[in-house]
């Protein structure tokens, strides 16, 4: 019996765990689910006869090493900053590891030792990163195999609320880790556009969006992700003219979110004095000029040149940021205070379903003709446990784990899913879960 060790039983692990338990009898697996919350791990295992659960602390070196050494493969669904602790032990013990997160510098540094030990550290096998890599590389390889040359490539993904449940002014609800949404985009975004390098600092990011129509789902806006340039090398597109990766939101989101960014409400670098005694109205007023006679709403509208009844101001009012409700957080950063407020307003309500949209754009030359190709994936969640985010993150991880355990993937070292050995069988099986792309092609 092969032992699969899953570290982390959060929302993104739900569909992963279900897949592995559903296939455990067929492949003779023991699925070990562990989390800092034993109750959460038990809930995900649901007393399955092939499951085992226990409390796990990733910072307990002895426990971490013991559990890894007993396993045939490790799946880390922990926060990204913790993966390297697991990866180091996996390499030491000769155990393969799979994660959905981006390759960190610490994990990248393990490549040589992992190859020497014959250990595979497979990263970026979720949705974004993950399905984006695999679906893009399938098309890129197909174009190149047929003698074509790719000129421009753009890829954007968004975790959104499904249209039927889109019922707030922001057209947005949390479908993944709220903290990551609050801190999204911090740093400098860099990409290549028509042969020119472009750099957008965080304070300009949400004012530099582009609109796009996607299938029958209407118009969306896209803001750039942090570093698109490194994917030229990853995808083998060093001479490309445009390389862009972005995040998808409904139109109007970014203009309103930019107010929070410009005021400093998304800053997570310092603690606000006396935060437990603040109201949200006092909180936002802390970032505005002192004007004894002016209302907080008036100061915000004046600072940003907005009409008091504009759509942006209505979005802000709806959040409750101008309310006298107590913040109630001790020693909190601005970002933590904003997160607490939005977690109440942007939560998925009972019965709500989420939606993942991924949209690729390729311009390429083939046999003297210039072509334009779009490739689009839309996945709707099943419920609040098996959300679209959980399905598109967890199922690719689970399929890759199965392929490694059954010897279909024989790689080692630090890898991402850009090779046919990985992406062909994973994408083929994802079709069974409704995860597939609609392609539309035209001449330029």
Task: Give tens-digit pLDDT for 243-258.
Answer: 999 999 999 999 999 9
Average pLDDT, the chain: 96
Residues of the chain where predicted confidence (pLDDT) is lower than 50? none
Kind of pairing, strands 242-250 and 149-161? parallel
pLDDT score recorded for residue 175:
86
- With contact defined as beta carbons under 8 Å apart, do 344 and 168 qualify? no
Residue position matching structure tokens 């968004």? 158
Nearest Cα residue to 324 out of 359, 287, 284, 360: 284
pLDDT score recorded for residue 384:
86
Give the Cα separation of 326 and 230 in Å (integer): 44
Question: Which regions of the chain carry the CATH code 3.40.50.720?
Answer: 2-127+388-435
pLDDT score recorded for residue 206:
98
Angle at 392 between CA 49 and CA 42, to 5 degrees: 30
Residue 52 CB coordination number (10 Å): 14
Question: Which regions of the chain carry the CATH code 3.30.360.10?
Answer: 131-255+349-384+439-443
Q: What is the pLDDT of residues 115-148, one digit of tens each?
A: 999 999 999 999 999 999 999 999 999 999 999 9
pLDDT score recorded for residue 302:
96
pLDDT score recorded for residue 412:
97
pTM (two decimals): 0.94
Residue position matching structure tokens 């067929």? 26
Nearest Cα residue to 265 out of 302, 292, 300: 300
Domain 2-127+388-435 bears CATH identifier 3.30.300.30: no
Domain 131-255+349-384+439-443 bears CATH identifier 3.30.360.10: yes
pLDDT score recorded for residue 11:
85
- With contact defined as beta carbons under 8 Å apart, do 7 and 74 qualify? yes
Q: What DSSP string runs through 67-130?
A: HHHT-SEEEE-S-GGGHHHHHHHHHHHT-EEEESSPPPHHHHTTHHHHHHHT-EEE---BBTTB
């Amino acid at each position: 019996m092969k032992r699969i060790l899953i570290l982390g039983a959060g929302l993104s692990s739900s569909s992963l765990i279900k897949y592995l338990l559903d296939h455990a009898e067929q492949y003779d697996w023991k699925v070990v689910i562990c989390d800092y919350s034993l109750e959460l791990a038990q809930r995900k295992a649901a007393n399955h006869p092939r499951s085992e659960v226990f409390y796990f602390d990733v910072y307990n070196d002895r426990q971490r090493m013991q559990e890894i050494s007993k396993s045939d493969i490790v799946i880390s669904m922990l926060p990204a900053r913790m993966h390297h602790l697991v990866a180091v032990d996996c390499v030491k013990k000769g155990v393969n590891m799979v994660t959905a997160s981006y390759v960190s510098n610490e994990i990248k540094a393990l490549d040589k030792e992992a190859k020497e030990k014959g250990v595979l550290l497979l990263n970026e096998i979720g949705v974004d990163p993950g399905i984006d890599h695999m679906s893009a590389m399938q098309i890129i390889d197909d174009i190149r195999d047929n003698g074509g040359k790719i000129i421009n490539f753009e890829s954007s993904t968004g975790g959104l609320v499904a249209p039927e449940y889109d019922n707030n002014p922001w057209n947005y609800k949390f479908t993944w880790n709220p903290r990551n949404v609050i801190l999204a985009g911090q740093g400098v975004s860099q990409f290549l556009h028509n042969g020119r390098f472009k750099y957008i600092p965080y304070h300009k990011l949400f004012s530099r969006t582009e609109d796009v129509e996607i299938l029958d789902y209407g118009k969306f806006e896209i803001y750039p992700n942090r570093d698109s340039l490194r994917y030229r090398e990853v995808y083998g597109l060093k001479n490309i003219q445009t390389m862009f990766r972005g995040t998808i939101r409904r139109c109007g989101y970014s203009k309103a979110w930019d107010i929070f960014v410009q005021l400093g409400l998304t800053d997570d670098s310092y603690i606000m004095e006396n935060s437990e005694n603040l109201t949200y109205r006092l909180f936002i007023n802390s970032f505005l000029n002192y004007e004894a006679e002016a209302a907080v709403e008036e100061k915000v509208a004046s600072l940003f040149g907005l009409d008091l009844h504009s759509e942006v101001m209505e979005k802000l009012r709806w959040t409750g940021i101008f309310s006298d409700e107590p913040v109630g957080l001790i020693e909190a950063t601005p970002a933590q205070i904003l997160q607490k407020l939005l977690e109440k307003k942007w939560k998925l309500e009972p019965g709500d379903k989420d939606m993942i949209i991924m949209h690729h754009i390729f311009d390429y030359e083939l046999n003297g003709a210039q072509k334009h190709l779009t490739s689009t994936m839309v996945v709707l969640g099943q419920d609040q446990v098996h959300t679209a985010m959980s399905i598109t993150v967890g199922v690719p991880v689970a399929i890759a784990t199965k392929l490694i355990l059954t010897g279909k993937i024989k790689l080692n070292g630090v890898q991402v899913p850009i090779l046919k050995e990985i992406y062909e069988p994973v994408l083929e099986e994802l079709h069974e879960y409704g995860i597939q792309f609609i392609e539309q092609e035209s001449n330029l």
